[in-house]
Structure 1
Amino acid sequence: MKSVKDETKQGPLKVGFVLSRSFTLSAFALFVDTLRLASDEADKSGRVLADWQVLGSTRHLITSSCGVQVAPTSDFIDPREFHYIVVVGGLLNADVTIDSQTSDYLKRAAAQKIPLIGVCTGTFILARLGLMKTHQTCVSWLHYQAYREQFPDNPVRSDRLFNLDRNRGSCAGGSSSADMAAFLVRRHISKDAERNALEVLQIERARSGLDIQPRKPLAIQCQDPRLKAVLIAMESHIEDVIPTEDLAASVGLSRRQLERLFTEEMKTSPGAVYTRIRMERAKQLVLQTQAPLIEIALEVGFDSASHFARLFRRLYGQSPTELRRAHA
């Protein structure tokens, strides 16, 4: 294997990490370990081609969502010391995820045009500071609805693994943290450095920002990545149903091309699949809540409770009320 130093760009890649309270350990570990392994040959771990710091307003230990604690390695030094500042989020139910000094530091970094990257729910932290309003944000499908509810005016999608939009980056978290870190390594260091890191991590290939999150709504099987993206969009828009033309345009297809893809791979139409996804959500609400049927109908995009009930009976063999009573 060629040395990772052969194609190095001038100066090491420098990354600062801001860890929220209850941050996700796997997202942080995969991101920083990709940098570590790209920074030197094999598994030597020298900070040759990349360097990193865990930044904090104090040196107190920061507890992750799994209970493991990490100590900051640096105070809030000049943001211009870093190529990127990465904010690693975690549990959304934490009352306070970062303190006021950290908020001020991130705002200062943004004012100095230092690229900020939200990993996992780190995007929520940046959005709360008003730093994602004009930037396309990528979040996990698991957090998509929460993001839309909290930041309805911010552009967001839940089908891609990560995104870098000018001076803002976002990443769904989990294993895709390594993919985003590998993207930065390839951009600032070299392809050889990227390959070295991924091989040691036993990752076969780096997925790009265009790769689709590994999510199969209703366990629907399909191979075409455009169909996977459309299925995730359907699942993310239960109440505000997206027209077929807009679904097709979101993946660069015409309506007719999308319908042909659905027919070839799933032997049915986009509309039929969309209806199935919405009705499965309705079934969950019927069984897991005591919400009135009209509220459930509206929740899954129906204006009429009677129309919803008729379709429900046709699909499941009994009315919503009968199903709820049977499982009481």
Structure 2
Amino acid sequence: MQHVALALYPGFQALNLAVSTVLEFANRYLDVPLYQVHLLSEHGGPVSTSGGFSVSTEPFGRRRFDTVLVVGDNDVLPAPPALVKFLQRAARTSRRIGATCTGAFTLAEAGLLAGRRATTHWYYAEQLRRRFPDISVEEDRIFIIDGPVWTSAGMSACIDLALAMVEKDAGAAIARDVARGLVVYHRRAGGQSQFSALLELEPRSDRIRGALDFARQNLKQELSVEQLAQAAHLSARQFSRAFRDETGQSPAKAVERLRVEAARLMMESGRHPIDVVARDTGFGDPERMRRAFLRAFGQPPQAIRRMARGGALQTA
């Protein structure tokens, strides 16, 4: 039985507790339960969440755990000194230690991220970089494994981190079963972007949003301005002007971003040949896709695939 500790403090974000649900469902799919989860805090007893309700906890004590994760909060609250000391002790005895969301700041306060790669919620990544320049902060990652230290991006990325742990401990088949049971996308690759092109574009009107949805669902098509304008029920001239006003970029550039995002996901989550990915995402040929990847990521598709495979379950 692996004992997994989630280290909590007042004001933590409750979504981080989803880690415990992933491990609970792993136990359901295993012949013999593998995980026992412990919620810990400095003094034990009820600990309030940022949402105003409380959960029951055990005191830190000096018990040894296989895995220790410190959770994050919404505002990068100051790390309680007792929590920092607990993590420093745990790092000497636990097989792995990590953080979800802004919990990376607490790991950093404990000196456990020095000289390592780490991620956190994209909104606070630059703050983590400024406060702790000895950390290689990679904000455009869902999670990162650097030796025994695991860190995840914000909010729901803790589920991806926990699924990766299940995959590491119990195999890919069990992790897939857990993902299906939880009705979530099967573990996003650690190297996958925290961002979505559709979210970043953020058009104001239903017409432009409808055109973008049409584009996303029809990436194999040419997707000319005329096609997109028709989906938006506007003339091509009206559409081009409204699109640039609402998104700050041209329709052609936005379509390329949607194609790159779809191609990146295919590269990270499967073994599709490059030419198949290029065809299915509307690039037409691998060279055109390669140039788009270089513009978007500064790396060719093959490098993105290698990063995803290496970053997902790399332990050193």
Give me the CA root mean square deviation: 3.2
1:109 corresponding residue in structure 2? 90
2:306 corresponding residue in structure 1? none
2:63 counterpart of 1:78: yes
1:53 positional shift: 0.5
3-state secondary structure, aligned to 1:61: strand
2:50 corresponding residue in structure 1? 65
1:207 corresponding residue in structure 2? 188
Count of residue correspondences: 222
| 11, 14, 17: which one aligns with 1:25 | 14
Post-superposition CA distance 1:144-201 (Å, at most 9, x none):
1211221123210111100110021100132211111111111112333322321221
2:287 counterpart of 1:261: no
Q: Is the contact made by 2:45 and 2:59 (CA closer than 8 Å) also made in structure 1?
A: no
3-state secondary structure, aligned to 1:214: coil
Residues 211 and 259 of structure 1, relative CA distance in 2, 3 Å threshold: closer
1:183 corresponding residue in structure 2? 164
1:103 positional shift: 1.8
1:93 positional shift: 5.0
Moved more, 56-65 or 167-176: 56-65
- Aligned-partner Cα distance in 1 for 2:101–2:12: 9
3-state secondary structure, aligned to 2:258: coil
For 1:32, the aligned partner's letter is: S
Q: Is the contact made by 2:196 and 2:261 (CA closer than 8 Å) also made in structure 1?
A: no
Structure 2 unmatched runs, 5+: 202-253, 266-286, 299-316
Alignment of 1:169-318 (within 5 A): 169-216=150-197, 218-219=200-201, 220=254, 221-225=257-261, 260-261=291-292
User: TM-score normalised to the size of structure 2?
Assistant: 0.62
User: TM-score normalised to the size of structure 1?
Assistant: 0.60
Question: Whose helix fraction is larger, Structure 1's or Structure 2's?
Answer: 2
Residues 204 and 126 of structure 1, relative CA distance in 2, 3 Å threshold: closer
Q: Which runs of 4+ in 1 moved over 6 A?
A: 226-229, 256-259
2:238 corresponding residue in structure 1? none
For 2:2, the aligned partner's letter is: L
Identity of aligned residues (%): 22
| 129, 139, 144: which one aligns with 1:158 | 139
Moved more, 56-65 or 163-172: 56-65
- Aligned-partner Cα distance in 1 for 2:46–2:32: 23
Residues 40 and 154 of structure 1, relative CA distance in 2, 3 Å threshold: same
- Aligned-partner Cα distance in 1 for 2:61–2:134: 31
| 73, 80, 85: which one aligns with 1:90 | 73
Q: Is the contact made by 1:87 and 1:118 (CA closer than 8 Å) also made in structure 2?
A: yes
3-state secondary structure, aligned to 1:125: helix
2:26 counterpart of 1:38: yes
Structure 1 unmatched runs, 5+: 1-11, 230-255, 271-328
- Aligned-partner Cα distance in 2 for 1:125–1:144: 14
- Aligned-partner Cα distance in 2 for 1:20–1:223: 42
- Aligned-partner Cα distance in 2 for 1:222–1:21: 40
